[in-house]
Structure 1
């Protein structure tokens, strides 16, 4: 595993910790044994080989001596760089995007998850077609408007990939429509949705299992959860909510994956409350939290959606650090310190969720014209209408809602 550290390039985290995360990523893929890992310092990126010629030669000799089959580069590698390094070293090479796609392909279980991974993989492969047809690159024929055999082959491969992408998108659209129907059904039974989000391996699934008594796969590995899981949960005050466990986020998450998993992550957009689960024992917990915030903003999560920060894995913190964390959490109303593994602090978290979902409601009477059918449908979809009458110019509705729901309605 190589982690390139380019001089002068601003990075949110230390290269050594970035390398450790990359090794954890590799360990999440069955059948891989990481024989070595190092940070490679670079003064600048070489367009042809990423690394300098001396470093390429040195690493190549070491790989040959150690009989390495696969080299992983924790960062972006262009198709040309990948081709040249594979040729020079005589090994298969994967960059960060390729590795994450491999993990996702191994983990996806539901039909939707498999389709999303396939779609992301095709988008990634399309940029790498140049590798397969380098022996034809220089051949050109015809009269200037007809490409040579190399170009023709690449074009036909691109067309085949594009056809497959269209086919997958159609299949995925059907799944997305089904998911939307499930959401519409849930809206009619007005249970609030609480979504667990956070960096990968922050302990979301362990917390989900602890809160609901479910048995979702929970392992100390990156991306243990890919397919979203939802369970009913009764809070201490008797209120029923739907708890959603989502795929973990990671820094530099490939754009293809963010796009492909948008349908899954839309569960977060629908949430009435977001619980941002943090591994508070991790040395870069603050940087991980910043990455999660960036991804939530890119998804379009509304700023007014209430959020609780769940500082998880307290069982891994000791002594004065533990005392300081608990004191810090105690001073903030939007933070709860817990250990999903031991159950410490879970009662306080459930009480906090109850409190944040108990927005005071008020009954108002609304007059809507027949042209405002969209607003009427939204009110009915959310289950807010107590009574409705139809007049000559429109509808008169008695609505029972919170201030936040009223603000949402005003934006329709």
Structure 2
């Protein structure tokens, strides 16, 4: 059975809005726990800012970045818990690259949310040194745009291309006065000028000092192997395993001052054979950009309540929607994967995490992929491997007994596997009392 290859898209700063994540957190406990985890890491209520904060506070770079990343990770956990699908590749726009790295397992969520908070603080401080901004430009060819930018730079201003979003759209970054001059100079041309909802001139020389300081924090992080490829904004290609941590740190540092090569990222997704994209996080800007590149492609986004709506079939992957009895078994292993991803990690032992979470998780991932490829239902032994993986994940992550019982009870009920499994009592092992 041919599988549809899925590419995940993670939005960047500018996609925030007051009220974001409301439906997501109302419907999905995993999403609520993700926001609680972010609040524990940062010491303030991230969800309350998203739902009730004023737009000025939410748009502040130091707040917007952790809020958007948390929303994206929460949506990813809910999506994985429902569908259990493994993407072919993932990419995020600027800040969204960190969301992708967190969801793929390269960064722990705790490290990622703290990193982008620090990144936002550094960028916000850099913004105070100059009155900068950004704008999207479309309908003008590169040569003419570069001539206009050069003219304005010759007047003593900073104004550079900060992003290549599609074949027809560029993002420029620099002094606000320079942006105003550019807006006036393209009046009358068949071009469109759209100011962006950001607080500074990102991806420009203004961020050089911030990038140097951010590199120090990057060097203190622990990095894991990705469970799926993540694209670099700097190169438009996947972060290479052979480059190791040094290559990853270098690219994430350069990302702050270099243009976002989003069009190149999308071409790489096409090269991977991606037929369907899912945008996880606030808004649908990246979905529209993908549709401009591949109008015949299938696209979904988590802000559409239909994608993550709970229904009898919501947890059944598209490839396993057969009879209800068969669907329960076909959905069992993907649900195990989704629960593993959505369960909060309460411990910080990297080696235990590798052996108790990553290795059994990836073994079950391989089973799911093989069963889908062959169009075969899982065997009883494979179902038990998924069950044992979950028990290992709970133990390694230090999951409370009440949460373990709730998750396992729901899994058994939703998949009709009560003839195979029963929730262990505390004295039977698998639960901490």
Q: Same fold (TM over 0.5)?
A: no
Q: Which has the larger radius of gyration?
A: 1
* Larger helix fraction of residues: 2
Scaled by the length of structure 1, the TM-score of the pair is 0.28
Scaled by the length of structure 2, the TM-score of the pair is 0.27
* Larger strand fraction of residues: 1
**Which one has more relative contact order, counting CA pairs under 8 Å at least 6 apart?**
2
